[in-house]
Structure 1
């Protein structure tokens, strides 16, 4: 697309200067909420971060956009969480994951694995076997609902995330996708997610999860650099989520980010 140069009023020719001025067109003032989100594939094409992160970095997140109505409800939920934290000046400041620093709407996701560090010669092999495994699994698009609010840390406890825990899908697709993710990461000597859980019913056998991990799956809404107090976490966990109860959350692809390349694998 080329740039077009427009002349201003000072550069009009004499013949043009006697012409009546063009009618002014009304302009509509737009706010960030009026601007539609960018296509999800945009974030895949323009993945600016080329580093390999060993932490849960919000700038590397990508997934599905909420609808306008869902976005409004989720924004209100974040506002309520800030109000709960604002009751004490010592509580951390939380940052929304619904928009970027420039005000652009961001997609949401459910994590299936921790960040892994693959050697250069492993990357293509991993993507080939992982993509083939998901396609052969015939796992359908994930449809779930919101259950509770919680606050969880990343593995290094350098960030705390304010999350919506989701229910177990009817076809158990999240547990199945987690099993595939852990199984093929294990082939490349990578640790599986939730392997070090203290819960007795969570065990890993050859990278495959046994039991139900549904309470571990969540959608991150916001984050902070420091941990909120136990009292604040309890207040957040007890917030009324009835306004979100009827929202069906749907994810139709699995994304794997290696270096600055994002591969999107569609679910059936």
Structure 2
């Protein structure tokens, strides 16, 4: 079976992995967990080197990707860019997440779109999860290094230290085009408001290159190209999330209510530690360490 990957421009940052449909054999009764395949952990740098698999087609064929459509077309000289925090769940965390997805698949009405896991590839390899700090944007070839230098300098000047977060709820979130709906885990506000601070650094760095902000809506704009951010930063804690699965159909009100019955006590007990920020430009991933 041929491996399929999107070309270097994608409709959203969540589209980095092939779909894995949760079928009837994956679905279990509420309260049960499914045993997930696990492999020995690899060094973080290894994942950065192999962040993307081989591309076999430059054309957008939704039939090869579970119905997903690319919104940003592939253009020579354009480099899809994404800023994010990366998380590889431990074996215990992965098992709990697998159980949550399986329970959700069991709860959804059969006539609605299937739910596809983001935890493993079609071949069973564990995939990284992430918290986005930017939209999926596009930089020109000549902008790549200046942007990376600016972002890294701003991050180091901020003196933001490594931090922990906890997970505290399930929800459905659509992409900006409402062509896909992501099953997500909401996260709490960490000490020193770290997520909001990282978001502001990312937005301001990308704004310098004319790229749109994530969550923030500066108002009013100034006459020049740089936007005028408010003096009192807003709190976007309610927006941050980790996507664990996706579907094409919008969840119904009943579907949203059903997931509230899933027990998250075990999941909320885990703490996720972040000590670096990832900047992916094209297929190259830069890992920028936070201040120790």
Judge same fold: TM > 0.5, yes or no: yes
For residues 46-67 of structure 1, give each alpha carbon's deviation from its aligned partner in whole angstroms, at most 9, with x where no partner exists.
Answer: 233678x766x9xx98822111
Larger Rg: 1
Aligned to 1:261: 284
Partner of 2:132, secondary structure, is coil
Cα deviation for residue 207 of structure 1 reads 8.3
Cα deviation for residue 214 of structure 1 reads 0.5
For residues 153-202 of structure 1, give each alpha carbon's deviation from its aligned partner in whole angstroms, at most 9, with x where no partner exists.
Answer: 111112111000000001110000000001111111111111359xxxxx
Distance in 2 (CA, whole Å) between partners of 1:154 and 1:207 is 25
Distance in 2 (CA, whole Å) between partners of 1:222 and 1:236 is 13
Residue 265 (structure 2) pairs with residue 242 (structure 1): yes
Residue 75 (structure 2) pairs with residue 71 (structure 1): no
Q: Identify unmatched segments of 5+ residues in structure 1.
A: 1-30, 198-203
**Runs of 4+ in structure 1 displaced over 4 angstroms?**
none
Of 212, 224, 245, which aligns to 2:235? 212
Partner of 1:80, secondary structure, is helix
Query: What is the TM-score of this pair, normalised by structure 1?
Result: 0.76
- What are the within-5 Å matches in structure 2 for residues 189-228 of structure 1? 189-195=210-216, 205-206=228-229, 210-228=233-251
Partner of 1:165, secondary structure, is strand
For residues 100-144 of structure 1, give each alpha carbon's deviation from its aligned partner in whole angstroms, at most 9, with x where no partner exists.
Answer: 121111122110110111111111100011011111211112311
Whether the 8 Å CA contact 1:146–1:247 is kept in 2: the answer is yes
Partner of 1:33, secondary structure, is coil
Whether the 8 Å CA contact 1:183–1:207 is kept in 2: the answer is no
Aligned to 2:205: 184
Of 19, 34, 43, which aligns to 2:47? 43
Whether the 8 Å CA contact 2:133–2:202 is kept in 1: the answer is yes
Of 230, 248, 252, which aligns to 2:275? 252
Of 34, 37, 40, which aligns to 1:33? 37
Cα deviation for residue 246 of structure 1 reads 1.0
Query: What is the TM-score of this pair, normalised by structure 2?
Result: 0.70
Partner of 1:144, secondary structure, is strand
Of 113, 128, 136, which aligns to 1:107? 128
Of 219, 239, 252, which aligns to 1:229? 252
Q: Identify unmatched segments of 5+ residues in structure 2.
A: 1-34, 59-69, 73-79, 219-226
For residues 43-98 of structure 1, give each alpha carbon's deviation from its aligned partner in whole angstroms, at most 9, with x where no partner exists.
Answer: 311233678x766x9xx98822111111111111111111221xx11222111111
Cα deviation for residue 206 of structure 1 reads 3.0
Partner of 1:171, secondary structure, is helix
Distance in 2 (CA, whole Å) between partners of 1:47 and 1:71 is 20
Partner of 1:101, secondary structure, is coil
Whether the 8 Å CA contact 2:163–2:191 is kept in 1: the answer is no
Distance in 2 (CA, whole Å) between partners of 1:91 and 1:42 is 38
Distance in 2 (CA, whole Å) between partners of 1:213 and 1:260 is 29
Distance in 1 (CA, whole Å) between partners of 2:195 and 2:52 is 28
Quote the RMSD (CA, aligned, Å): 2.7
Cα 1:223–1:67, aligned 2, differ >3 Å: closer, same or farther? same
